[in-house]
Amino acid sequence: MKLTAKLVIVFMLVSIALTAINGYLAVQHEARIFENDMKEYAARVGTTMEKMVVIVWRDQGQQGVLTLIKSENRQQSRIKIRWVWLDARPRDPDGPRVPADQLRGVSQVPASIKVRDQQGNRYIHTYVPIDLDTKRKGGLELTGSLAELDKYTRTTLYRTFVVMGVMVLACGVLIAVLGVRVVGKPLEQLIEKTRRAGAGDLSGPLHLEGNDELSELAGSLNHMCHQLAESQQKLQEQSTARIAALDQLRHADRLRTVGRLASGIAHELGTPLNVVSGRAGLIASGKLPDEEIIQSALTIKTQTDQMASIIRQLLDFSRHRTPQRAAVNLRQVADQTVELLTTISQKRGTTITVDGPDKPQTALVDLGRIQQVLSNIIVNAIQSMSDGGPIRIGLRQARVCAPEAIDGKTTEFIAIDIRDQGHGIRGEDLEHVFEPFFTTKEVGEGTGLGLSIAYGIVQEHGGWIEVKSELGQGSCFSVYLPKEADECATES
């Protein structure tokens, strides 16, 4: 509707301008023809009377000329004739009606001059000079009225304005009819179709009658939607195939994990079960003395405690428990964890130091579970240095992008770096260190669940663990935990 209105208005303005120009040119053309015709007619009459005036003046004088002019005026309807003295002074009754300065060029040939009187009426005065062998210069003044021309001009202007009004009315009707039926409704249908296509609804082809550009646009839009629908279907089929392939890969990975889990359980529980079975068989034989029976019972208890510990770790690994979070200073958590592990580190000949700013490093975490994470990593560091050595724990603030962030937005985290100088981890083993039951330790030193449990705990807190290591150069485990906002920490 708006587009149609703009087009029709432009067409209307152009048409009105052309009509006005045509009317103006027509009036000017008719005016020139009318004026030239009147000038020529007056000049002919004046030239015809010139000889008669000369003869009458010679025979009868000025009075005879005036009688001749009076007689001629009775026969003329278009012009009025007067005898004038061309050299008359202003306000002389026999002088010309045209100012003297405009008559300076009138001498031998007829001259026509257009004037307007005080009432606004326009006239053409034609002067024909006549040589009478007198001291004064005389001639005929032939006056023609331009009232008919002015009337024609007014009529033409009126008709032009009427035509313009009719054109405006017709354009309004065109806007109402063409804008709604021919252009408006098809455009609304096209706009609605594009909106539905933009929203993802590619169904329902649009049918517009006619063979104009709008119908061609509708056909192109339908073809585009058809192609988009086919592309979406192909993408959906490809996505379904990729998801199926991914499910197969995940299933294979689960099978591998289950196999490793079964192998680890069999390895970890096999030896204690053999010991329990052997000791129980000896006790059941009744051939052992009392002291050995007691010793066998203690051995069975020790092995069952070890199996219970393994099973408890498995349950911690598989159980999903919501952390009980509170605002905690991670520097204090690190100090407390180091204090708990002092005895173990001293036996191994290692020293543990905690570095970091004195300002509290506050995070919203589960204190016990974060201590479990740090304990697992520190114990691994202690065990990696068979000859002892220093372990350094550092705390820092880092504005980084989380590995799982899609938008690439950075966030404030607190990083706890645990560095050791142990034997390090091979490059091919780095990607498996957080998998359950994966371990590079000697038999009996670990189950391979500690780092898996630690990584799961940190993930539940919205963070992650990074590891950097080279053989013979030691390892660095970095635990990233979201930093608590300052206002939240103050309230806590």
Contacts by residues 60-63 (CB-CB < 8 Å, ≥ 24 positions apart): none
Per-residue pLDDT of the chain (492 residues; tens, 9 = 90+): 566 677 777 877 888 888 888 888 888 888 889 888 888 888 888 888 888 888 888 888 888 888 988 888 888 888 899 888 888 887 788 888 887 777 766 655 678 888 888 888 888 888 888 888 778 888 888 898 888 888 888 888 888 888 888 888 887 777 777 666 667 777 777 788 788 888 878 777 877 777 777 778 878 888 888 888 888 888 888 888 877 776 675 556 555 545 655 665 666 677 778 878 888 888 888 878 888 888 888 888 887 887 787 677 566 545 555 667 888 899 889 988 888 788 788 888 899 999 877 788 888 888 888 888 898 888 888 888 888 889 999 999 888 888 876 677 888 899 999 999 888 888 777 777 877 766 655 544 554 567 878 888 888 888 999 999 888 888 999 999 998 754 444 444
Asked whether residue 127 is assigned to any structural domain, the reply reads yes
Q: Which domain holds residue 83?
A: 2-155
Cα separation, 38 vs 144, in Å, equals 7
Decide: 140 and 49 in contact? Cβ < 8 Å: yes
Cα separation, 368 vs 461, in Å, equals 13
Asked whether residue 224 is assigned to any structural domain, the reply reads no
Neighbours of 492 (CB within 10 A): 11
Asked whether residue 101 is assigned to any structural domain, the reply reads yes
Cross-strand pairs, 396:
415
Domain boundary residue, one of 155, 171, 199? 155
Cα separation, 483 vs 414, in Å, equals 6
Phi-psi region of 120 (alpha: psi -120 to 50; beta: other; left: phi over 0): left
State the DSSP code for 415: E
Q: What angle do CA 475, 480, 481 make, to 5 degrees?
A: 150
Q: What pLDDT score was predicted for residue 487?
A: 40
Asked whether residue 210 is assigned to any structural domain, the reply reads no
Cα separation, 391 vs 354, in Å, equals 9
What stretch of H or E contains 395? strand 389-400
Domain boundary residue, one of 155, 180, 195? 155
List the CATH number of the domain containing 93. 3.30.450.20
Asked whether residue 33 is assigned to any structural domain, the reply reads yes
Cα separation, 492 vs 489, in Å, equals 5
Domain boundary residue, one of 124, 155, 186? 155
Where are any strands of DSSP class E within 153-302?
Answer: none
List the CATH number of the domain containing 344. 3.30.565.10
pLDDT for 361-417, tens place per residue? Answer: 888 888 888 888 898 888 888 888 888 889 999 999 888 888 876 677 888 899 999
Asked whether residue 262 is assigned to any structural domain, the reply reads no
Asked whether residue 418 is assigned to any structural domain, the reply reads yes
Residue in the structure block whose two tokens are 């032939």: 142
Q: What is the dihedral of CA 19, 25, 30, 33, to 10 degrees?
A: -160
Asked whether residue 387 is assigned to any structural domain, the reply reads yes
Q: How many domains does the chain have?
A: 2
Cα separation, 177 vs 168, in Å, equals 14
